């Protein structure tokens, strides 16, 4: 399977269904070429299946109607997509998803903290007070 499809699936975790559809169609068309008509796909079914089995997805249908489109991929590629989709997002990806931008305005000056009394536990396993 082409790494671009896996990347599209991984990046799309927080996207809308329409954005995911548009991204996948665009990526798959870049990899597999223009969509085939249903008639052409029927006439060349052996070639379509051969490409799909070799890792090149085939799009069948009208590009202007995403609801009318179908994709032919191998079972191995489907398993790879499912694995990519279920991976947990990293902390950095979560920050990116909410639009976090690190501070880049220069030095951050932090003042000296206040002196505080040490906290004390009210009781512990042995029943004695213990300073933290």
Computed over its alpha carbons, how large is the radius of gyration of the chain?
A: 27
**Residue 114 lies inside a defined structural domain of this protein:** no
Which among 46, 42, 41, 58 has a CA at the least distance from the CA of 5?
A: 58
**Residue 76 lies inside a defined structural domain of this protein:** yes
What's residue 46's pLDDT? 94
**Residue 73 lies inside a defined structural domain of this protein:** yes
Q: How do residues 8-41 score in pLDDT, each as one tens digit?
A: 777 776 778 888 788 888 888 888 888 899 999 9
Q: How do residues 90-120 score in pLDDT, each as one tens digit?
A: 788 778 777 888 888 888 787 777 777 888 8
46 close to 17: Cβ distance less than 8 angstroms: no
pLDDT band at 132 (very low <50, low <70, confident <90, very high): low
**Residue 131 lies inside a defined structural domain of this protein:** no
State which of 99-103, 120-124, 128-132 shows the largest mean pLDDT.
99-103
Q: How do residues 36-90 score in pLDDT, each as one tens digit?
A: 999 999 999 999 999 999 988 988 988 777 678 888 989 998 888 888 777 777 7
- Domain residues for the domain of 28 are 3-97
**Residue 130 lies inside a defined structural domain of this protein:** no
Distance CA 46, CA 52 (A): 10
**Residue 124 lies inside a defined structural domain of this protein:** no
User: What's the domain count of the chain?
Assistant: 1
**Residue 60 lies inside a defined structural domain of this protein:** yes
What's residue 50's pLDDT? 93
**Residue 19 lies inside a defined structural domain of this protein:** yes
Write out the E strands in 22-88.
Answer: 58-60, 70-72
38 close to 48: Cβ distance less than 8 angstroms: no
Distance CA 81, CA 7 (A): 10
The yes-or-no verdict on residue 129 having pLDDT over 60 is no
């Amino acid at each position: 399977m082409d790494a671009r499809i896996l990347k599209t699936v991984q990046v799309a975790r927080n996207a809308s269904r329409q954005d995911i559809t548009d991204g996948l169609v665009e990526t798959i068309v870049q990899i597999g070429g223009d969509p085939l008509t249903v008639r052409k796909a029927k006439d060349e079914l052996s070639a379509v299946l051969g490409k799909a089995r070799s890792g090149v997805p085939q799009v069948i249908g009208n590009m202007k109607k995403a609801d009318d489109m179908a994709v032919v991929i191998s079972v191995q590629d489907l398993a790879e997509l499912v694995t990519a989709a279920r991976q947990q997002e990293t902390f950095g990806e979560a920050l990116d998803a909410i639009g976090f931008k690190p501070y880049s305005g220069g030095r951050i000056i932090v003042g000296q903290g206040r002196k505080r009394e040490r906290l004390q536990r009210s009781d512990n396993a042995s029943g004695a007070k213990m300073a933290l």
